[in-house]
Structure 1
Amino acid sequence: MSWVDGQPAEGLPIHDRALAYGDGLFETIKVLAGCPELLDRHLQRLEHGCRRLAIPCDINGVGSQLIAFSAELGEGVAKLIVSRGEGKRGYAPPVPCMPRTVLTGSSLPNYPKAHAEQGVRLYPCTTRLAEQPILAGLKHLNRLEQVLARAEWQDPVYAEGLMRDTSGRVIEGVFSNLFIVELGRLMTPSLERCGVAGVMREEVLDRARIAGVPTQVGDLSLGQLYRADEVFVCNSLYGIWPVRQLDASVWPVGPVTRKLQSLVADLSSNT
């Protein structure tokens, strides 16, 4: 199932800048009972990204397309792409710019229940994230760093990979955001230089603050990660997975992780 600019379609014009340059943004959205979860957060992030990339976007129109698409999809994953549209050869953005919206649907991933219940093991990726503040936090279409990182392991014992930046700071998972708990305080890496500001990351931070859990966003070293009391990763499709091991470091599934898992488990009833 796929739509282009709100209409059923089977392909994308070959001159679209999404294909030539990765010139655009995307959102990966969980759909249950015909409703997109965390809809407001996804649209807010998309609007913010379009503003930073100077892509004119009718966010209300995109939202309407997404709601209609989700209703038809019923259950699964909706991938929403907003590209800068078609253009001539060369990097210069087209004037005027005619953005294009692409929606594709797929089935929900069948993740093992043990990932959420017992925790996962992280692979220590050697691929580093480049530090580029202009693009930091955005879910833009240039994902080659993640492609290369995910290609580093095939062993299913690893459910996710850990990514650091070129200075060695801990940033995120290949397809998730990362949190640690240290003396009861919830900490997550700053994304001012690189990384993706996930919608579930924001949801976890907000719910933790409401629940009275102290939170902190800042630089995180590998040493701090190893010394943490609890570690978990999160994204909008699976919620929260406790992390039980990275290299020789092993962590329990702690009380803060379990509390936050319970707080985000009711998303579908509040969306």
Structure 2
Amino acid sequence: MFLINGMKQAVLPASDRAIQFGDGCFTTARIVEGRVCMLDAHLQRLQVACEKLFIAYTAWQELTGEMIELAQGVERGVLKVIISRGSGGRGYSAANCQHPVRILSVSAYPVHYDRWRVEGITLALSPVRLGRNPQLAGIKHLNRLEQVLIRTHLEQTTADEALVLDSDGFITECCAANLFWRRGRDVFTPRLDQAGVNGLMRQFCLQQLALAGSRVVEVYEREAALSSVDEIVVCNALMPVIPVRQYGSQRLSSRELYSFLAPLCEQTR
């Protein structure tokens, strides 16, 4: 089901800048028992992204109501919200774009996440790298061609997820998740001020680890840093956190970090 500016439809004008330039932002939320998990955080993410992209979106009350309404009656599902700059002007100029467009849709929950939480997943190093761009780093904008290429390559392997580096060779994220790794008592996660998405579950995990007094370091590290880790976990707002059982030929059996984070992340529902 799709809602576009509050109307049940699934068609956008060809002039919409989401189509023309990928000009907009989005968020993807988990629905559990008719409620949008982390609703306020998802709305704040969209607000921050619109500010960074200079999209003058103001209909937050209408959007909030539609998110709540679409989730009602859904036992488990996925709610995606897109904000496009809309139509107007010619070429790259956004001077005449006065009416941003909101697009909401609901889809089935990825049931393989249930199996992944039990079994753990495998990671493979992706040959596709993320371009460094501090202006866009952190936000979930609509320019996702890098992720499309990462996923396309991943589907040619037997791995479940991809380890993704940036164009300077630093560990950044997975195709559709953030990651943490543990070495002894210390926990590490990539810095995301140059590339990658600062996911809501990543932010939540950082907060919970800080409250527990854990030493967490945001780092620029190269792929070789993972050769000596005790544990890797990945997370996003849908999973919400999943252990990694193997990276390349390296098997990982410890679930200490996962066991700490998993019950806390489930409380975000």
Q: TM-score, normalised by structure 2?
A: 0.94
Summarize the alignment of residues 121-132 of structure 1 with structure 2, pairs less than 5 Å apart: 121-132=122-133
Report the secondary structure of 1:267's partner residue: coil
Summarize the alignment of residues 205-224 of structure 1 with structure 2, pairs less than 5 Å apart: 205-224=206-225
Identical aligned residues as a percent: 34
Report what 1:166 is aligned to.
Answer: 167
Paired with 1:60 and 1:159, the residues of 2 have a C-alpha distance of 38
Report what 1:69 is aligned to.
Answer: 70
Is the aligned partner of 1:85 residue 2:86?
yes
Deviation beyond 3 Å, 4+ runs, structure 1: 72-75
CA contact (8 A) 1:185 1:214 kept: yes
Report what 2:36 is aligned to.
Answer: 36
Report the secondary structure of 1:196's partner residue: coil
Report what 1:197 is aligned to.
Answer: 198
Is the aligned partner of 1:22 residue 2:25?
no
Paired with 1:217 and 1:241, the residues of 2 have a C-alpha distance of 19
Q: Which amino acid aligns with 1:40?
A: D
The Cα of 1:219 is off from its aligned counterpart by 1.2
Summarize the alignment of residues 106-255 of structure 1 with structure 2, pairs less than 5 Å apart: 106-111=107-112, 113-154=114-155, 157-255=158-256
CA contact (8 A) 1:118 1:253 kept: no
Q: Which amino acid aligns with 1:135?
A: L
Report the secondary structure of 2:182's partner residue: strand
Aligned pair count?
268
Q: TM-score, normalised by structure 1?
A: 0.93
The Cα of 1:26 is off from its aligned counterpart by 0.5
Q: Which amino acid aligns with 2:161?
A: E
1:242-271 CA deviation, whole Å, 9 max, x = no partner?
112122222223312211112212222xxx
The Cα of 1:71 is off from its aligned counterpart by 2.1
Summarize the alignment of residues 49-68 of structure 1 with structure 2, pairs less than 5 Å apart: 49-58=49-58, 59-68=60-69
Q: Which amino acid aligns with 1:120?
A: I
The Cα of 1:145 is off from its aligned counterpart by 0.4
Q: Which amino acid aligns with 2:33?
A: A
Instruction: Summarize the Cα distance change of 1:224–1:154 in structure 2 as closer, same or farther, 3 Å threshold.
Output: same
The Cα of 1:226 is off from its aligned counterpart by 1.8
Q: C-alpha root-mean-square deviation of aligned residues, in Å?
A: 1.6
Paired with 1:168 and 1:67, the residues of 2 have a C-alpha distance of 41
CA contact (8 A) 2:230 2:254 kept: no
Report what 1:262 is aligned to.
Answer: 263
Paired with 1:96 and 1:105, the residues of 2 have a C-alpha distance of 27
Gaps of 5+ in 1: none
Paired with 2:12 and 2:227, the residues of 1 have a C-alpha distance of 45
The Cα of 1:88 is off from its aligned counterpart by 3.3
Q: Which amino acid aligns with 2:17?
A: R
Instruction: Summarize the Cα distance change of 1:174–1:235 in structure 2 as closer, same or farther, 3 Å threshold.
Output: same
Gaps of 5+ in 2: none
The Cα of 1:213 is off from its aligned counterpart by 2.0
